[in-house]
Amino acid sequence: MKNILEWLENSTAKYPNKTVYSNLEYSLTFDEVSCLAKSVGSAIINASLPEGPVAVVMGKEPKMIASYLGVAYSGRIYAPIDVTLPIKRLNSIFDNLEPAAVVTSEALKEKVQGILEQVGKSEVKVLTVEELEKTPADQEKLDVVRENMTELDPLYIIYTSGSSGVPKGVIASHRNVICYIRAYVKVMGITDEDILGNQSPLDYIAAIRDIYIPLYTGASSFLTPKEFFMQPNKLFDALNNAGVTSIGWTSSSMTLLDTLHAFKNDTLKTVNKVCFSGSVMTKPVLEYWTANLPNAKFVNQYGPTEATASCTYYVVDEHTMEYDSVPIGKAYDDYKIILIDEDGKVPAEGELGEICVTGPTLALGYYKNLERTNQDFIQNPVNNRYRELIYKTGDVGRILPDGNIEFHGRKDRQIKHMGHRVELDEIEAAAATIAGVGENAVIYDDKNEVLVLYYVGEATIKELSAGLRGIIPGFMVPRKMINLESMPKLPNSKIDLKELERMYSNEG
């Protein structure tokens, strides 16, 4: 198996007329996706573009996925980008990415061209999928590209939060995705009879399950509208009408649906597999879901983008509620999890350590950022016999007597919020650029999933909120903002974050 395109071709041969991706507007069969992807790939090859990845900027639709595969056929790396991001963040992404071209839809072409002008990239060629799909597939050229491809070639670049205020582009290979999808499918028991209910935006790491599982197994994916997660009746109707059997959602979305009493008037009639990840799942919320879907298999999944979505899993059973918290489980097949203490050693059994991961799903690093790559992807400190890279997640955990890993929060300032990985330093860096804001600090109320920003300065909360929304995504804008006359300080003159946490706790 050299790359994921072999999965597409195998499933197309076996299920040519079966729907593979659909949303409320339209659907595509395996054969239609294959034809579209080959046309896109051929057109990109023929376009004589400069070197570099190809950005894909489209709505949440089947043709966006076909475009990813088309870029892969051309031998280039695809980089999904959310067109609704603030212009300053888009500027940072495009500065780092320097795409050879942008693939978009006719409906978004004018907007994309405007964005490229705003970020100083007006020379980048904009290609629409409507134009590209008219190109006849050039099998001879596609074959030449394939002959030179290996499983270690980069497949995609997905941008995540960066502590300096600059997003990091995580590069994953075909091999990374192949190994992860195989492991996930084995644990969940997914077959060609399953229909996946997608939640994640297609530019987010969790979406790789909904994109690539169908290619591997012959299953199908239904792309659920984002707004439906605030409207349980519409959400359940859509999933039931689509016959969805398996969902892989963030814990925060499942918590929201609990809060909205989603199961009060309806149920998910065909769902029998539920995977949750992205943030800590509380036992009360899990009990709510298992009570309403008593015959479903529930799996807690944990892992960073740098490990190709996930590295551990825990299958919920009758003993789960006996734990202090829902475990994140054990490593997937072919993965290896290591706990490392502050001294670079393996902690004693039951002691805390930083969760580190290695194995064939370890990403290739950060695009055009070797310094940060070398900082986060390091030689295993407990292995002095041969080269073994590990990724330091920044998460803390301990191994329980039964071998499961118990999650104990963040080691540093990187947190999981609403299913997204967020670095608090990036929010602070953004706030610091707003007029009337002096010193500022962000803390996180993990229990209630609330970002809290303390700041000194003349800016009003309304001005600060509006300013932040022009710089960072909405999910990163703190829900609570508090103006102080001065920041509490440590003896070394640094802001006392622990004191801010105490202040917030006392206010609550």
Quote the CA–CA distance of 156 and 60 in Å, as a whole number.
17
Quote the CA–CA distance of 194 and 172 in Å, as a whole number.
26
pLDDT at 281: 86
Model confidence pLDDT, tens digit, residues 139-164: 999 999 999 999 999 999 999 876 66
Q: Report the mean per-residue pLDDT for the chain.
A: 94
194 and 17 Cβ atoms separated by less than 8 Å:
no
- In the DSSP assignment, the letter for residue 413 is S
Residue ranges, CATH 3.40.50.12780, the chain = 1-149
pLDDT at 194 over 60: yes
* 28 bridge partner residues: 21
Over range 1-20, report the average pLDDT.
96
390 and 335 Cβ atoms separated by less than 8 Å:
no
Tell me, what amino acid is at 469? R
DSSP, residue by residue, 94-160: HHHH--SEEEE-TTTHHHHHHHHHHTT-TTSEEEEHHHHTTSPP-HHHHHHHHHT--TTSEEEEEEE
- In the DSSP assignment, the letter for residue 84 is T
Tell me, what amino acid is at 451? L
Tokens (6 digits) for 106: 């006719």
DSSP, residue by residue, 192-260: TT-EEEE-S-TTSTTHHHHHHHHHHHS-EEEE--GGGGG-HHHHHHHHHHHT--EEEEEHHHHHHHHHT
pLDDT at 490: 65
300 and 313 Cβ atoms separated by less than 8 Å:
yes
Residue ranges, CATH 3.30.300.30, the chain = 414-507
221 and 246 Cβ atoms separated by less than 8 Å:
no
- Confidence band (pLDDT; 50, 70, 90) for 508? low
Residue 333 CB neighbours (<10 A): 10
* 356 bridge partner residues: 338, 392
Over range 284-299, report the average pLDDT.
96
**What is the CATH architecture of 1-149?**
3-Layer(aba) Sandwich (3.40)
Tokens (6 digits) for 104: 């978009």
* 197 bridge partner residues: 222, 247
* 293 bridge partner residues: none
Residue 348 contacts by C-beta under 8 Å, 6 or more apart in sequence? none
pLDDT at 164: 64
Give the CATH class of 303-410.
mainly beta
In terms of Cα–Cα distance, which of 485, 506, 484, 488 is closest to 497? 488
Model confidence pLDDT, tens digit, residues 445-485: 988 999 999 999 899 999 999 999 999 999 999 999 999 99
- Confidence band (pLDDT; 50, 70, 90) for 203? very high
pLDDT at 432 over 90: no
Residue 254 contacts by C-beta under 8 Å, 6 or more apart in sequence? 276, 281, 285, 289
Quote the CA–CA distance of 145 and 76 in Å, as a whole number.
10
In this prediction the pTM is 0.85
Residue 371 contacts by C-beta under 8 Å, 6 or more apart in sequence? none
pLDDT at 163: 60
Residue ranges, CATH 2.30.38.10, the chain = 303-410
pLDDT at 47 over 80: yes
Residue 449 contacts by C-beta under 8 Å, 6 or more apart in sequence? 252, 255, 279, 417, 418
Residue 18 contacts by C-beta under 8 Å, 6 or more apart in sequence? 29, 30, 218, 220
Model confidence pLDDT, tens digit, residues 88-129: 889 999 999 999 999 999 999 999 999 999 999 999 999 999
pLDDT at 212: 99
Which homologous superfamily does the CATH classification assign to the domain defined by 414-507? Answer: ANL, C-terminal domain (3.30.300.30)
Of the listed ranges 133-142, 208-217, 425-434, the one predicted with least confidence: 425-434
